[in-house]
Structure 1
C-alpha cells in the first residue's frame, strides 16, 4: 500500500481507506497529500481485490482547502514530489477528482471543515456521509479567487441550480444539516462516527457483484449531461455485458439456493 507524508492508506477488508493526514493544518491540501491521493486512486483501480474506497480526514477535519503556500510552490514537499508535479502539471487535478474518476465507488466520510478545495473534492465522490458538526462551503470568491476545481460545472448538476449559485456566489459556510437538505451530502450522522458509517456503507457495496457495481457507476458518469435517448443507449452499452458474466449467473443461483453469493469478478 502506498502513502505519503500527508496521506495515509489503510486496507479494511475490500475497502481502501485514504486519510488526509495533516491535522495541524486542518488537512489543507499540500503537494505530498495530492501526490498520495492520486496514487491512492490508481492503487484502488489497479487492485481487483479493492471494491470500494473511503476518503476521510484525520484529527476531526476533512479538508480546509488548498494550502496557499503550496499553491505558490513554497509549501512542504520533497524534491521527488515537486519533480512529479513538474512532470505532470495535471497531477493536482487528477488527485482532486477533477480530471480522474476512479472506477471503484468512492465514499466520503466528513468530520469538521470540508470547505473550498475540500468541497470541490467532495463533488468527485459518489456517496457522502457527514458528521453533524461538519461545515461545507466554497469560499473562493471571498478571497478574490475562483473555485477552479470543477465546482462551477459540477455543483449545478449535483444540487439545484439556485442552491449551487448561492453557495458559489456568497462564499458562506453551510452546516451539515443544510448540506443534506440541498443534496450535497446524503446522510448526517453523530460526530465522530462518519468513518464508521462510511465503512458500513462500503461493506454493503463490497457484498455486491463488483463488475455490476463498476458498470453502474460508469453508466451514471457516462450519462451526465446527455439527452435522455443518448443516455439510455449508453446504459444498454454498459448494462448488457453484465448479464453475460459468471457473476450474474452466480447471483441467480445464490438467490435460488437462498445463500450469499460468491462473486469472482468473472
Structure 2
C-alpha cells in the first residue's frame, strides 16, 4: 500500500543550473521502492530535457544515502501486486527500474553523488552510474545482494571491476562485505571523504563549479569519457575528435577566451 506521507519519496529541487535529487525515505534508510524508482527516472529525464540545468546532485534524506531496494517491494513485484500508481507504472514499464539506477539510462549531464551512512546494495549500484562521488567519513559501501540470494541487476557485476581492481571487486561482489569510505577512496571508487554531514555541501561546491563551465564542453567531455572507456586510443579518438570539434566551433568557445582576456566571467549560452 502507499506509504502514509504527503511528501514525495524523491525530492527534486532546481537551484540555478543545479538539480538536487534527494531520496526521501529516511525511516527506511532510503531503501528504494516503486515510487522512488519512478521519481528518480523522471528526475534524470528532467535533467536532460531542461536546458537551464547543467548538473545534478544525488543524495539521501537524513544520515544515510540508500540501503538498497526495499526487500518487501521486491516480493510485492514478484507477486504482481498492483495497489498503487507507482507499482503499476513500474510493472507496465519495467525498464524504469534500471533507468532509475543509471544502468540503462545515463543523463548527458554530470551527476554527483553525496553519500552519508549506508550506501549498500542498490545504493552502491547507483553510485557506479554517477560521475563524481563524495562521502561522509562514516559512510560504508557494499554490494550485498549475494547475502540475500539475489543478483546485483543494476550493473555491479560488470561495472565494479572497471572502476576498481578486479580482486577487490570480486571480494565485494562474492562476499558481500562492506568497504569504508577511506578504503573506497583509496581504491578510486569515490573522489572525496569529508566530515560526516558535509557530503552534500562538498558535492554542491563541485556542482557549482561545473555549472559555471561551458555546458557544451562539459557534455562533450562527459560523452567522451563514457563512450571511449574500453576502446583503443585509435578508436577512442574517432569518437573524441568530432565531439571536441563541434565544441571548438561553438559560440561558447569564442566567449571563453574573450572573457578571460577581458578579465570577466564568461557568459556561456550553450551555443
Same fold (TM > 0.5): yes
Alignment of 1:1-266 (within 5 A): 5-73=8-76, 79-266=84-271
Q: CA RMSD in A?
A: 1.7
Cα deviation, residue 204, structure 1 = 0.4
**Matches of 2:220 and 2:50, distance apart in 1:** 17
**Matches of 2:65 and 2:141, distance apart in 1:** 10
Cα deviation, residue 168, structure 1 = 1.0
Contact 1:4–1:36 under 8 Å retained in 2: no
Contact 1:63–1:117 under 8 Å retained in 2: yes
**Matches of 1:42 and 1:250, distance apart in 2:** 29
Indicate the residue corresponding to 2:3 in structure 1: none
SS of 1:50's equivalent in the other structure is: coil
SS of 1:72's equivalent in the other structure is: helix
**Matches of 1:41 and 1:113, distance apart in 2:** 23
Contact 2:40–2:100 under 8 Å retained in 1: yes
Cα deviation, residue 109, structure 1 = 0.3
Contact 2:82–2:88 under 8 Å retained in 1: no
**Matches of 2:157 and 2:187, distance apart in 1:** 16
Alignment CA distance shift 1:78-1:61 (3 Å): farther
- Normalised to the residue count of structure 2, the TM-score between the two structures is 0.94
Cα deviation, residue 115, structure 1 = 0.3
Alignment CA distance shift 1:56-1:89 (3 Å): same
SS of 1:27's equivalent in the other structure is: coil
**Matches of 1:126 and 1:145, distance apart in 2:** 26
5+ unaligned residues in a row in structure 2: which ranges?
A: 1-5
Instruction: Give the aligned length.
Output: 264
Cα deviation, residue 171, structure 1 = 0.9
Moved more, 152-161 or 73-82: 73-82
SS of 2:154's equivalent in the other structure is: coil
Moved more, 139-148 or 51-60: 139-148
**Matches of 1:224 and 1:158, distance apart in 2:** 10
Moved more, 161-170 or 124-133: 161-170
- Normalised to the residue count of structure 1, the TM-score between the two structures is 0.95
SS of 1:188's equivalent in the other structure is: strand
Cα deviation, residue 82, structure 1 = 2.4
| Runs of 4+ with deviation above 3 angstroms | 74-78
